[in-house]
Amino acid sequence: MKKILIVEDHADIRRLIHMTLEFDDHDILEAENGAIGLDMAREHQPDLVLLDVMMPGALSGLDVCRALKATANPPRVLLLSAGGHSEDIKAGMLAGAEVYLVKPFSPLQLMENINQQLEDA
């Protein structure tokens, strides 16, 4: 069973992603901000992190992504953001993300990307 961590400050989006993931056999963890997400990732060692870019608090999704990628066994990271400009996408990829999805995205698009990342993990 693959372990997936959802780091998203909006509870409704977190719930929607969680419900989408329930159709497959995954161990799903959730965090509502970057600091909690980073702590949970360090503790639980997920295979994949679904990470919102813009979150309140000291750590943005880009900060968390960079921190995760600096670990000995980094998870695959799929960034989720409303920022769809080329500079936003470039910043996400430079932070180390494997995928950058622009909100709103379809559940099908999300699952296709998740499945691809888990196959590559």
Q: How confident is the model at residue 67, as a pLDDT?
A: 98
**Residues 21, 4: contact at Cβ < 8 Å?**
yes
Mean pLDDT of the chain: 95
- Residue 28 structure tokens: 């799903």
If you count DSSP H runs as helices and E runs as strands, how many of each does the chain have, helices first?
Answer: 5, 5
pLDDT attached to residue 108: 93
Distance, CA of 107 to CA of 113 (rounded, Å): 10
What's the predicted TM-score (pTM) here? 0.96
pLDDT tens sequence across 2-23:
999 999 999 999 999 999 998 8
C-alpha torsion sign, points 77, 117, 83, 88: positive
Which amino acid is located at 70 in the chain? A
Instruction: For 115, list phi and psi in degrees, rounded to 5.
Output: -60, -40
- Binned at pLDDT 50, 70 and 90, residue 58 comes out as very high
Query: In the structure encoding, which two tokens stand for residue 35, read together?
Result: 């600091």
Distance of alpha carbon 35 from alpha carbon 57, whole angstroms: 8
Domain 2-120 has CATH 3.40.50.2300: yes
pLDDT reported for residue 23: 84
Band of the pLDDT at 99, cuts 50, 70, 90? Answer: very high
pLDDT in tens, 16-46: 999 999 888 899 999 999 999 999 999 999 9
Q: Any idea where the domains of the chain sit in the sequence?
A: 2-120
Q: Reply yes or no on whether the pLDDT at 121 is more than 90.
A: no
Q: What is the 3-state secondary structure (H, E, C) of 48-105?
A: EEEEECCCCCCCCHHHHHHHHHCCCCCCEEEEEECCCCHHHHHHHHHCCCCEEEECCC
